[in-house]
Amino acid sequence: MTDENRGPRREGGRDESRRGSSGRGGASRGRDASGRGPRGAGRPQRDERRGGAGPRRDGGRDDRREGGGRDGAGRDDRREFGARDDRGSRGGGRSDRRDDRRDGGRPARDGGRPTRGGADRDREQRGGSRLAPKSPRLPEPRIPDGVTGKELDRSVHQQLRTLSKENAEGVAQHLVMVAALLEADEVEAAMAHAETAVRRAGRVPAAREALGMVAYRTGDFARALGEFRTVRRISGSDHLLPLMVDCERGLGRHERALDLAQSPEAKRLPAQEKVELAIVVSGIRRDLGQVDAALVALQIPQLKKSNQPRLAYAYADTLLGLGRTAEAREWFERAAEADTEYETDAVERLEELDGVSMTDLLDGADEEDEGGDE
C-alpha cells in the first residue's frame, strides 16, 4: 500500500498540515482525502478551545512522512519546565546526612568548630546554594517588530495567566510566531519558536500543542503524539484526539489507531471533531486496502450538510478509488462549491477528471495573444 493512498491527507483537499485540522498532511506530497492540516496551527484566533491546532490534512495532498521512534515525548511534563528536582538521589542524600551526624556534632581535634558539612552539602546538592552556577539560557529566536502576543485567542491568554507577566508576554509572542510561520510553511523556524515556548511554559497546554503541531507537520508523529498526550493530560480536553489517531496511523499502528477512534472519548467529540475523525478513519481503512469500509466511515450525518468541503472531498476521493467516477465528480463539485476558503483542491480534481489542466488553459491563452498580434 503506497503512502499516497493512506487517507486523511488528501482525503480532504490541500495540505492539511498547514491549517492544522485533520489529516496527516505536513510531510510528503501525495493525494489524501480531506484537504486541510493541523487545525488551528497557523491561525491562533480561529479556534478558542485550541489556541491553534488540529489534524492532518486527510483530504488534500499527502504531506505526511513516515514517522518513527517511540512516542515518549513529553515524558517529564509533569514538572514545570525548568524546575529543579530538589529531591536529589535518595541514596546519596541520606548517606551524606548520616555521615555528617557522626562527625558534625563533635569538636574537631584541632580545636576548631564542629564540622557542618551535612547541611551545606545537602543544600548544594539541591541547587540551593547562592553560589551555584545557573544553567545558561539557550538563545531564543527573534520576535519581529509588531508582534505583541495579543493576537492570540482569549482562551490562550487565560492559560498564560499562570506565568509571570513578562514570561506570559514572551510565550504569547512565540506562539504567534509558530502560527504565522506554519502558515508560511517555514517549519524549521516555527519549531524554534515552539521549543522556546515549551522551555518557558512547559505546563501550558497551548505551548505543548504548538510544539506537537509543528512536529506533526514535519512528520515526526512520535514526538507529536507525545505532545498531544501531554496536552490531553494537563488540560483534560480530547479535542486533539483525531490528530492522535492520525499520529498512530503515521507510525503504522493502524489497529491501535482504530481502537482510539472507537473509544468512549471519541464518541463524545463535538460534531466538527467527528468530521475530522471520520476522515482519518477512512484514510486508515484505505491504508489497509478496505476501500468499501473507508467509504462507510465517511457516511456520517455531517456528510449531508453543504458546509463540509473536506468531508465531501474525502467522499469524492474514496468514490474515485472504487471506480465510481460519475459519483466522484458530483461530490468533487459539492466540495468545490462549499470550499470558500480554498481548503481543498477540488477544482483541480474536477479539471483532471474533465481532462483539463492549467497548462492547456495557458496554452490556449498564448495562442489567442499570438493571433491578436498578427
Q: How far is CA 13 from CA 65, 74, 339, 349, in A?
A: 17, 31, 10, 9
Distance CA 12, CA 369 (A): 37
Q: List 34's β-bridge partners, or say none.
A: 10
- Per-residue pLDDT at 347: 97
What's the confidence (pLDDT) of residue 227? 99
The x, y and z cell numbers of residue 7, run together, are: 487517507
- 107 burial (CB, 10 Å; 0-12 / 13-18 / 19+) is exposed
pLDDT at 191 over 50: yes
pLDDT of 226 > 80? The answer is yes
Tens digit of each residue's pLDDT (9 = 90 or more) over 228-284: 999 999 999 999 999 999 999 999 999 999 999 999 999 999 999 999 999 999 999
pLDDT above 60: residue 308: yes
Greater pLDDT, 69 or 307: 307
- Look at 99-108, 193-202, 299-308, 349-358 and tell me which has the smallest mean pLDDT: 99-108
CB contact at 8 A, 287 and 293? no
Q: Which residue has the higher pLDDT, 82 or 185?
A: 185
User: In this model, does residue 1 exceed pLDDT 50?
Assistant: no
From CA 214, how far away is CA 220, in angstroms rounded? 9
* This prediction's pTM: 0.66
pLDDT band at 129 (very low <50, low <70, confident <90, very high): very low
Which pLDDT score, from 0 to 100, does residue 217 have? 98
Place of cell 492522535: 244
- Residue 137, SS3? coil
Q: What is the pLDDT of residues 343-369, one digit of tens each?
A: 999 999 999 999 875 555 556 555 555
Q: How many Å apart are CA 260 and CA 249, to the nearest integer?
A: 11
pLDDT band at 115 (very low <50, low <70, confident <90, very high): very low
| pLDDT on residue 31 | 41
Q: Other C-beta atoms within 10 Å of 292: how many?
A: 11
Q: Where are the domains of the chain?
A: 16-77+141-373
Q: How far is CA 25 from the centre of its chain?
A: 11
Share of the chain above pLDDT 90, in %: 57
What is the dotted CATH code of the domain comprising 16-77+141-373?
1.25.40.10
Residues 6+ apart with CB under 8 A from 349: 313, 316, 317, 332
Integer Cα distance of 215 and 83 in angstroms: 24
Any alpha helices (H) in 219-302, and if so which ranges?
A: 221-235, 241-250, 254-261, 264-267, 271-287, 291-297
The helix (run of H) or strand (run of E) holding residue 210 is helix 205-218
